[in-house]
Structure 1
Amino acid sequence: MMAVALTLTLPLTAHAAELEEIIVTAQKREQSLQDVSLAVTAVSAEDLLRSNISSLENLQHRVPGVTFGNDFAFAKLFIRGVGLNSSFAGIDPSVALHVDGAVVAQAAAQFASLFDLERVEALRGPQGTLYGRNATGGSINLVTAKPTQTFGGYTNVSIGGSDLSYGLDSALSGPLTDSVLGRVAVHYQHHDGYGKHTGSGKDIDDLNVIGTRGHLQFKFGDGVDLLLSGEYAKEDDHTKSVHFIGPMFPDPPLPSLRATGLPNVSPNSRNAGGDFRPTFESETWAATATLTVRMSDATSFKSLTNYREFDDQLTQDFDVSDTVNGNFPPAPTSTTQLQAIGDDQFSQELQFIYEGDRLHGIAAAYYLTESIDSLVLLGRDPVGQPARSRVIVPATLDVDAWALFTNFTYDLTKLFSIKAGARYSAEKRTMENHFAVASPVDPAAVYDPERRASRDYSNFSPELGVELRPADGVMLYATYSEGFKSGTANLGERVPNLVNPETIENIEAGLKSWLLKDSLMLNIAAFKYKVEDAQYDRTYAITAPPFYAARLENAATTDGKGVELETSWIATDHFKMSFAGTYYHIRFDKFLSQNPINPALFGPGGSSLPPEDLTGNRPRNTPDWTAELSATYEWPLTSGASLALTGAVSSRDKQYYTEFNDEVTGQDGFTLYDANLLYTGAGGKFTLNFWGKNLSDEMIVSGIYVTSTARTITGTYLPPRTYGVTAGYKF
């Protein structure tokens, strides 16, 4: 499948009303997007700029099958109903994020800023035979803009909105010597808060992000190329904290630890209370070396070496009221939380790429080592007095993983090709934690003995497929593939529990076509899959305070099937349209669990109640249908300049944020309206873009979490209506 947003980026000219060919590297070699026999979307840098898309959260309404939410500063990327179902460190995302092919391993680090990119590629379905890291749901690859042979660059400045947003994106690129090219880019983005902290009156859900990236490319001749890349990003604001949705259940049996009825409690509001204003800080830097050696016209070798460090810290109050619920000691009822994550990762990938007359593909070896540190504190003042917290959970997880994978296509004839791939994965995971908790009579939190757990995992995943080209511009394909996500442990548990791997079997068939003299693109994909041993955080009732405990388990089996349609059409030299729609039927085939918001668990006989049967429920972040429509009309001006007006409508069916599909933990179906008016000066160097997003100012929940510590239901929201103007200049 191709991108819903492609028509927004394809040029309209008076000379040729046909769609432009898009070149991608989704299968680790350059191909036309229409020749890739899998469901892949490509969104260009021009569309990202025109639509003011600067984050993956914004991107989800331009890429079919993708949803993006967050809770507790963990990115929740889902593709076709497969994604991360935990809010603790240590669990791999089911959708992998890559920057130029190098993985960003932890979900907490997946809040990527989209700046100075050539394109974004989103692959749907398991991708273990193409990418180094495991990915059961899919993979998103950010392809950065590379150094150019000629000197040039750009600067884009944005300002607007009642939230006083402003930003800067700029890049400079060109030759440094005859054999050395360079590029440097900077990104800054700021907006005031979308809401207020009711206790202090200060902004929350604001944004303050800065990032930079640099490339040095050495061309040694004889087909040898070395690209050295470095990037740095920092965020320091008051975002990613939760808002009050409602109490877990009415009083009794257990009251929500909030000041019920007080004016500082703001249900379903962009404002939020708390003992203090929430804060979020993150910092990451990465270095990548990509060596490419072209050994012949048909063969090449690539080495991809990456090192990345990431640290973040979120502080918030679970009860989201301004009333202090208790001090510690002696009353350990405080619900303020500090969560800090540190991650160091190193990966090495070696690729052999063959591009012959009939045989095309890749064989590769991959290694990853990762060290994750997690610290969770619950207490009255976890920042100023961490040692006096009532719950202290320091934990580490070390990962050593390697894999061999291959994927080749052989053209039996010009009409028919076969495709085969395989992956062998092996991992070792070692966890240590040192849990401490206080009861009401303890003067301080008492540590359990240090606990350590270790386990080895391995998996073999095949892929088989066929491609048929019955006519020019038409390809039919069918594939069978399997995927694997390593077993792991939840770094928030008292007793380490290394669970089994999560696996998927996926069958997909599709059509890719150019029609009407290449003025119409029509793509259809249909899939059916089964996920087994899906990894879920399960909350269950206990008899002692805080009356809940969490455990990571292989809790569910999921059956999914669906159809995806994308089309782009240049109706005239000046008018073009695109449409994308998805229809999914993704349900649990087996899932037994206790619902933490069921008050009967805490009434008479509650401890003996059997778990609920969730068979037939939807997974999290999975609407049954989505639809996106966009249209652009361009007016050429006599001066050589042009105006282009684009309108976009994005609709989604109801979706849920817990597996129990309760109304209070779901989001009703919604429709978002975006628009922009782009002025391009004669020669194309100067642009002025007036843009607006969520024009009807819908209030959309992007994630919901049942915070059992405070016995409240909390959530996060998508941005409100935003608008502004971006002035750009290329040179």
Structure 2
Amino acid sequence: MNKMMKSLLPLAIGATLSTQAWSQDFDLILEEVVVTAQKRVERLQDVPISVNAVSGAKMDEAGITNLEGMTAYVPNLTMNQTGIGTIIAIRGISSGINQGFEQSVGQYVDGVYYGRSQLARAPFMDLERVEVLRGPQSILFGKNSIAGAISMVTAKPTEEFEGQVTALYEPSHGEKDVRVVVSGPLTDSLRGRLSVLGRDIDGYYENTTLNRDESAEEEHVIRGQLSWDASDDLSMNLKIESGSFNTQGRFLEPINPIETTGGLPYATALLATTGGAFVLDTDQDFKRQSNGDSSENDTKNATLTIDYALGDHTLTAVTGYNAYNYEEICDCDFTGATIFTADSREDFNQYSQEIRIASPQGETIDYIGGLFYQSSDMTFDDAIRVPATSVLGVLSTSLLGTASQRDFTQDSTLWAGFAQATWNIDTDWRLTVGGRYTSEDKTATRTQHHTNSLGADVGSSDALLNTVFTAFLIEPYSEIKDKRSEAAFTPLVTLQWDATEDMMVYATYTEGFKAGGFDVRSNAHPDPAYGVNIIANPSPLVIIQTSNTYGFAPGVFEYEEEKATSFELGSKMTLADGAAELNVALFHTNYTDLQTSQFDGKLGFNVTNAGEATTQGIELDGRWLVAEGLTLSGSVGMLDFQFDSFPNSQCYFGQTPNSTDYPGLCDLSGKTREFAPEYQGTLSADYNRALGDDMEWRVTGDINFSDSYFTSPTLDPNLEQDAYAKLNLRFAVGSADGDWEVALVGKNLTDEKVATFGNQLPVSTALTSGTGTAYYSFFDRPRSIALQGTMRF
């Protein structure tokens, strides 16, 4: 597979570069791509940023229903669901698993910041385009977008009446998707748009415990927009949206059980406690065992955008409200054995206000500047529960019905001032300088306490609960409370040169900043001297041990800010008299105090500032209108990620601790990180022809490929995904005027089994007294073929 990909890439690049020779006989010009990556409407080829733009039409045709589906078409972008969160990464940089994190990859919808990882799982609907900006976006986007920004632009109300109904059905996994859009004028100055989505899927996993398909998803969204031209100088757009996305089950299964010499296998430990009734299925056949998982999410958002002409300048105000809540139940031992369950709830509210002014374009100096304010509050609580039928009852029946609970609150206030100016030195040279000053305050509290079988709070006074839960690094304590204030100035300098009429070259230096914060999910107390005395285990299952027997780190409450320094050199070229484009970007970014999330080896995750890291590489993307009706396109990202200093990483199972400064931990200095393949990309072809006088047919093919990568933060070799290539095909027949279309949509026709996240099965090392373990992994959807129909009016 590696040899095939490495031979395809130079051929694809060479083909694009040779378009002058191939296209001389055609009077063909590519349609321009327009973006707002710099808060202005600009041609993509004029923007000095490594940016990919995917149109709403492409997303509809490819069946892209959420951000995870976008990753196949944007190099160096990955998104992965985990057991308790979502990870988004650009160029190998992500925030990891913790509800306290705001994402290193900033997500923006119509200019409003969506920084919470849970919102990355929300469904896409009726988008004009999605722009992915790689590298620190510290000036015009700003809010913590230290790895990059994903800007989603919803389709706006139209001057003319139009509507669209799209329906999709996929029988193998029971997927049904219906979308309805109606848009048009309401009065001479008022326009409206209504968009509705309903989607559900049975899933592609078989839960052999509950005898059902998983993960069953159900999504609903309704969005209304009004655009009002109040006067020649004043226009407003109001968007209100409500949605939900719920799931039953998860996309994971146990894999790769291992043990040390003479050790106790995890399956044997489970069998010993279930009377031989339990089977640990690790055959990687899209089967899993679970007593039930669920996630219920509700979202609300409203955005008011006001544009006012002040002479030749434009004053813009963007007011945003964003809220969500969810409830999740996780059978987090990820087996059919009844051991424990975890449930969690989060309620989040955010208000933001941005005011900016932009000068007219084309002057000697163009500029844009403004002020930004945001406040948010979050409450989170979760619990590890021992069900009445748990096998842990062999330790003591008094454990049944008990729980260890956590409560967390956080309030945040941020304000920023920003400005960016471009000096058009002459017709060929431009110099852009910018800066953003950000100040943020956070206050947080966290409490961990136990409850007995009657539901009464016993805090840390129950010796039995202390014994058992502390064995899993869950330490009860009264409220921890703290606050932090921090500020940063992040500059940007970009030099652009129009080397020819068809080639622009740019060089950029910028700095990035991501605020520190408070760890939500750490189970142990942050003070290493804190601890609850535990006793020798009286049961046949030897699972009790002191907290640091295997070198596990103490808990975490506060973590520090993350900083980045980035250099980028790029070029955007128009070739073959406008029939082709090729864009290239070379980048080198150094991160200090990189915020990572480390599994504590039991049930929790600790936030760790990982010293220093460097990410560097090259990104290419291009399009070629070969002939009338035939377009080739492709993009590839090559990445070299390395921890320059990370002496305090958790070790994977069986790894010998080798950290000099942190006894019991492992030093990952000089190593890569998870979700950082050396290359990934896509090659596409789109061909359409007339079919008689009134119809046409069209075929679109994509090859999405990736090199191997680790799926676990510890770089466990048992959790490495091999290189792969997925083939997607779409064949459509429709009317020549676009009023209707019927298509077959095939995804992953090569039926690749691709792991997107993996880790140790919780409690597997504890139940085997550290002599054995097992793993779980999330897997992408296998081959699917759907029927899609569209009607426009």
TM-score, length-normalised on structure 2?
A: 0.84
Moved more, 484-493 or 702-711: 702-711
The match for 1:358 is: 364
Q: 2:240 aligns with which of 230, 234, 259?
A: 230
What amino acid does structure 2 have at the position aligned with 1:362? I
* Aligned partner of residue 517 in structure 1, secondary structure: helix
Contact 1:240 1:280 in 2 (8 A): no
Q: Tell me how far apart the structure 2 counterparts of residues 155 and 239 of structure 1 sit (CA, whole Å).
A: 30
What amino acid does structure 2 have at the position aligned with 1:422? G
Q: 1:660 to 1:451 in 2, by over 3 A?
A: closer
What does the per-residue CA deviation read over 1:529-570, in whole Å, with 9 as the maximum and x for residues that have no partner? 1011001223457xxxx6x76432212311111011111111
The match for 1:294 is: 309
Matched, 1:653 2:707: yes
Q: 1:248 to 1:609 in 2, by over 3 A?
A: farther
The match for 1:564 is: 619
The match for 1:330 is: none
Q: 1:512 to 1:442 in 2, by over 3 A?
A: closer
Q: 2:220 aligns with which of 205, 210, 220?
A: 210
Contact 1:199 1:322 in 2 (8 A): yes
Shift of residue 640, structure 1, vs aligned partner: 3.1
The match for 1:139 is: 149
Matched, 1:575 2:588: no
Q: 2:47 aligns with which of 36, 51, 57?
A: 36
Structure 1: which 5+ runs fail to align? Answer: 325-333
The match for 2:330 is: 316
* Aligned partner of residue 54 in structure 1, secondary structure: coil
Q: Tell me how far apart the structure 2 counterparts of residues 249 and 552 of structure 1 sit (CA, whole Å).
A: 28
The match for 1:347 is: 352
Q: Tell me how far apart the structure 1 counterparts of residues 480 and 691 of structure 2 sit (CA, whole Å).
A: 71
Look at both structures and tell me which one has the larger radius of gyration over its CA atoms: 2
The match for 1:441 is: 464
The match for 2:383 is: 377
What amino acid does structure 2 have at the position aligned with 1:36? V
What amino acid does structure 2 have at the position aligned with 1:532? T
Matched, 1:450 2:455: no
The match for 1:327 is: none
The match for 2:514 is: 485
Q: 1:584 to 1:277 in 2, by over 3 A?
A: same
The match for 2:420 is: 407
The match for 1:66 is: 77
Contact 1:71 1:705 in 2 (8 A): no
Q: 1:383 to 1:407 in 2, by over 3 A?
A: farther
The match for 2:726 is: 672
What amino acid does structure 1 have at the position aligned with 2:576? L
Q: Tell me how far apart the structure 2 counterparts of residues 98 and 89 of structure 1 sit (CA, whole Å).
A: 18
Equivalent runs, 1:390-401 vs 2, <5 Å: 390-401=403-414
What amino acid does structure 1 have at the position aligned with 2:571? L
What does the per-residue CA deviation read over 1:142-175, in whole Å, with 9 as the maximum and x for residues that have no partner? 1000001111111111112311211111111111
The match for 2:454 is: none
* Aligned partner of residue 434 in structure 1, secondary structure: strand
What amino acid does structure 2 have at the position aligned with 1:321? T
Q: Tell me how far apart the structure 1 counterparts of residues 232 and 169 of structure 2 sit (CA, whole Å).
A: 47
Shift of residue 717, structure 1, vs aligned partner: 1.4
Q: Tell me how far apart the structure 2 counterparts of residues 433 and 304 of structure 1 sit (CA, whole Å).
A: 33
Q: Tell me how far apart the structure 2 counterparts of residues 249 and 372 of structure 1 sit (CA, whole Å).
A: 41
Contact 2:651 2:665 in 1 (8 A): no
What does the per-residue CA deviation read over 1:424-465, in whole Å, with 9 as the maximum and x for residues that have no partner? 111111110111247772499895211101111111110001
What amino acid does structure 1 have at the position aligned with 2:131? E
Q: Tell me how far apart the structure 1 counterparts of residues 253 and 736 of structure 2 sit (CA, whole Å).
A: 48
Shift of residue 296, structure 1, vs aligned partner: 2.1
The match for 2:286 is: 270
* Aligned partner of residue 61 in structure 1, secondary structure: helix
Q: Tell me how far apart the structure 1 counterparts of residues 674 and 638 of structure 2 sit (CA, whole Å).
A: 16
Q: 1:103 to 1:265 in 2, by over 3 A?
A: same
Q: Tell me how far apart the structure 1 counterparts of residues 298 and 262 of structure 2 sit (CA, whole Å).
A: 43
Q: Tell me how far apart the structure 2 counterparts of residues 713 and 264 of structure 1 sit (CA, whole Å).
A: 11
Contact 2:353 2:373 in 1 (8 A): yes
Moved more, 650-659 or 91-100: 650-659
* Alignment RMSD (CA, Å): 2.8
Contact 2:386 2:400 in 1 (8 A): no
Q: Tell me how far apart the structure 1 counterparts of residues 116 and 443 of structure 2 sit (CA, whole Å).
A: 16
The match for 1:51 is: 62
Q: Tell me how far apart the structure 1 counterparts of residues 262 and 477 of structure 2 sit (CA, whole Å).
A: 32
- The number of equivalent residue pairs is 702
Shift of residue 657, structure 1, vs aligned partner: 2.3
Shift of residue 608, structure 1, vs aligned partner: 9.1
Q: 1:509 aligns with which of 569, 575, 582?
A: 569
What amino acid does structure 1 have at the position aligned with 2:28? A
Q: Tell me how far apart the structure 1 counterparts of residues 309 and 696 of structure 2 sit (CA, whole Å).
A: 42
Q: 1:578 to 1:497 in 2, by over 3 A?
A: same
Contact 2:374 2:413 in 1 (8 A): yes
The match for 2:180 is: 170
What does the per-residue CA deviation read over 1:185-232, in whole Å, with 9 as the maximum and x for residues that have no partner? 001111112112221101211221111111011211132111111111
What amino acid does structure 2 have at the position aligned with 1:167? D
Q: 2:591 aligns with which of 531, 552, 569?
A: 531
Shift of residue 313, structure 1, vs aligned partner: 2.1
Moved more, 50-59 or 633-642: 633-642
What amino acid does structure 2 have at the position aligned with 1:485? K
Q: 2:652 aligns with which of 597, 604, 611?
A: 597
The match for 1:279 is: 294
The match for 1:717 is: 779
The match for 2:440 is: 427
The match for 2:643 is: 588
Shift of residue 720, structure 1, vs aligned partner: 1.2
Contact 1:188 1:211 in 2 (8 A): yes
* Aligned partner of residue 34 in structure 1, secondary structure: helix
What does the per-residue CA deviation read over 1:20-72, in whole Å, with 9 as the maximum and x for residues that have no partner? 01111110000001000001111111111111111111110111111111113
Q: Tell me how far apart the structure 1 counterparts of residues 791 and 113 of structure 2 sit (CA, whole Å).
A: 32
Shift of residue 366, structure 1, vs aligned partner: 1.0
* Aligned partner of residue 188 in structure 2, secondary structure: coil
* Aligned partner of residue 47 in structure 1, secondary structure: helix
Q: Tell me how far apart the structure 1 counterparts of residues 575 and 597 of structure 2 sit (CA, whole Å).
A: 47
The match for 1:303 is: 317
Q: 1:389 to 1:425 in 2, by over 3 A?
A: farther
What amino acid does structure 2 have at the position aligned with 1:722? S
Q: 1:517 to 1:594 in 2, by over 3 A?
A: closer
What does the per-residue CA deviation read over 1:360-400, in whole Å, with 9 as the maximum and x for residues that have no partner? 23212111111122212111349999994432111111111
The match for 2:498 is: 469
Moved more, 490-499 or 620-629: 490-499
Q: Tell me how far apart the structure 1 counterparts of residues 662 and 619 of structure 2 sit (CA, whole Å).
A: 44
The match for 2:340 is: 335
Shift of residue 242, structure 1, vs aligned partner: 4.1
Matched, 1:22 2:36: no
Equivalent runs, 1:599-618 vs 2, <5 Å: 599=654, 609-618=663-672
The match for 1:118 is: 128
Q: Tell me how far apart the structure 1 counterparts of residues 263 and 117 of structure 2 sit (CA, whole Å).
A: 35
Q: Tell me how far apart the structure 2 counterparts of residues 43 and 655 of structure 1 sit (CA, whole Å).
A: 25
Contact 1:485 1:502 in 2 (8 A): yes
Q: 1:665 to 1:237 in 2, by over 3 A?
A: same
Q: Tell me how far apart the structure 2 counterparts of residues 141 and 252 of structure 1 sit (CA, whole Å).
A: 54
The match for 1:328 is: none
What amino acid does structure 2 have at the position aligned with 1:344? N
Structure 2: which 5+ runs fail to align? Answer: 1-11, 17-22, 391-397, 451-459, 470-474, 527-555, 766-773
Q: 1:388 to 1:288 in 2, by over 3 A?
A: farther
Contact 1:454 1:498 in 2 (8 A): no
Q: 1:264 to 1:245 in 2, by over 3 A?
A: closer
Contact 2:347 2:378 in 1 (8 A): yes
Shift of residue 249, structure 1, vs aligned partner: 4.8
